[in-house]
Structures are given as structure tokens and as C-alpha cells.
Amino acid sequence: MAGVSGINAVGSIANSVASQQKSTESGTSFSSILKDAMDQSESLNTQSNQDLLNLLSGNTDDLAGLMVDSQKADVAVSLTAAIRNKAMDAYKEVMNMQV
């Protein structure tokens, strides 16, 4: 069941990004959306690290939950890096435009 909740968590991240995209159209700034995405990524990474620490210290034996949290954190970091790369590419393209 931990795998299903992990899939649901990744789905909820995608839904929150989609809802933030809709709110951008209504006036929310890009920087606040980016900050929220970074905060979510950081919280997933912190949860993954805490689960790993609990497993290594013997407080839990939920290896499946640890793997799900680890994959969620990996996907979040990959998504954050992809967004950063696209933003940098767009910035470079704008800077190379001739006025």
C-alpha cells in the first residue's frame, strides 16, 4: 500500500503544479510558483532523509516506504533541475535577442 500512496503523492505534486499554472493566469507570480515547487522538493528530500535515518537506526523496517520516498525526492529534484534549465535557456535566448 505504501507504493500506492507514493504514486498518489507524485500525482498530487503534478496536480498542484497544474493548479499553480491556472493561478498564474489569474495573477500569481512566477517566482511564488517556483518558490513553492522548491519548498515541496526540499520537504520531499527531508522526508526521504528522515526515513533513511530511521531505517539505518533500526526504528523502522519499512524498506518499501523508504524506496517510494526516495523516488519521490529524486523525481522532485529532477523536475526542479529541468525547470531551472528551461528558465536559464529562456533567459539566454532573451538576452541574445537583437533590439
pLDDT attached to residue 24: 47
Poorest-pLDDT segment among 12-16, 27-31, 33-37: 12-16
Over residues 44-72, the mean pLDDT reads 89
Q: How many CA atoms lie within 13 A of 21 on its CB side?
A: 6
Residue 26 belongs to domain spanning: 2-95
Comparing 44 with 24, the larger pLDDT belongs to 44
Distance between CA atoms of residues 32 and 76, nearest Å: 17
Q: What is the pTM of this model?
A: 0.62
If one counts the domains in the chain, the total is 1
Work out the burial of residue 71: count CB atoms within 10 Å of its CB; fewer than 13 is exposed, 13-18 middle, 19 or more buried.
middle
